[in-house]
Amino acid sequence: MGSAGTDSDASPGPPAPATLALPASFKWGVSSAAYQIEGAVAEDGRGPSIWDLFGRQQGRIANGDTGDVACDHYHRYREDVALMRRLGIKVYRFSVAWPRVLPQGHGQANSLGLDFYDRLIDELLGNGIEPWLCLYHWDLPQALDDLGGWQNRDIALWFADYAALVARRYSDRVRHFATFNEPNVCTLFGYGMGWNAPGIANRRSFLQAAHHVNLAHGEAVRTLRTLAPGALLGAIHNRQKCLPISAAPQDAVAAGILDACWNRLYSDPQILAEYPPELVDGVQEFRRAGDMARIAQPIDWFGLNHYCPIYARADQGPLGFAWADAPHDVPLTGVGWRIDPAAFRDELIAAHRRYKLPIYVTENGYGANETLDAAGGVNDGGRIAYLHTYTKALAEAAASGVDVRGYFLWSLLDNLEWGAGFASRFGIVYVDYATLKRVPKASFDWFAELIRAQQK
Ligand code: FCB
- Rounded to whole angstroms, the Cα distance separating 150 from 191 reads 9
Spacing, Cα 279 to ligand 1 middle (Å): 25
- Rounded to whole angstroms, the Cα distance separating 10 from 327 reads 20
- Rounded to whole angstroms, the Cα distance separating 396 from 307 reads 17
For 416-449, letters b (16+ CB in 10 Å) and e give bbbbbbbbbbbbbbbbebeebebebbbbbbbbbe
**Angle (nearest 5°) at CA 138 between 136 and 143:** 95
Provide the pLDDT for residue 18.
77
pLDDT < 70: residue spans in the chain? 1-13
Provide the pLDDT for residue 2.
40
Spacing, Cα 12 to ligand 1 middle (Å): 28
Half-sphere exposure of residue 293: CA atoms within 13 angstroms, side-chain side: 3
Number of the ligand 1 atom closest to the C-alpha atom of 418: 10
Q: Whose CA is nearest to atom 4 of ligand 1?
A: 417
**3 state SS of 178:** strand
Q: Residue 104 CA to chain centroid, in angstroms?
A: 24
- Rounded to whole angstroms, the Cα distance separating 407 from 427 reads 15
pTM: 0.96
- Rounded to whole angstroms, the Cα distance separating 223 from 219 reads 6
Spacing, Cα 249 to ligand 1 middle (Å): 31
Question: Which of 410, 412, 416 is the best mutation target for the ligand 1 pocket, counting ligand atoms within 8 Å of the beta carbon and taking the most?
Answer: 410
Provide the pLDDT for residue 4.
38
Provide the pLDDT for residue 55.
97
Provide the pLDDT for residue 16.
78
Provide the pLDDT for residue 12.
56
Beta-strand ranges (E) seen in 300-434 are: 301-305, 310-313, 322-324, 359-363, 404-409, 429-432
Nearest-CA neighbor of 427 among 4, 437, 121, 375? 437
H helix and E strand count, the chain: 16, 13
User: Residues 364, 409: contact at Cβ < 8 Å?
Assistant: yes
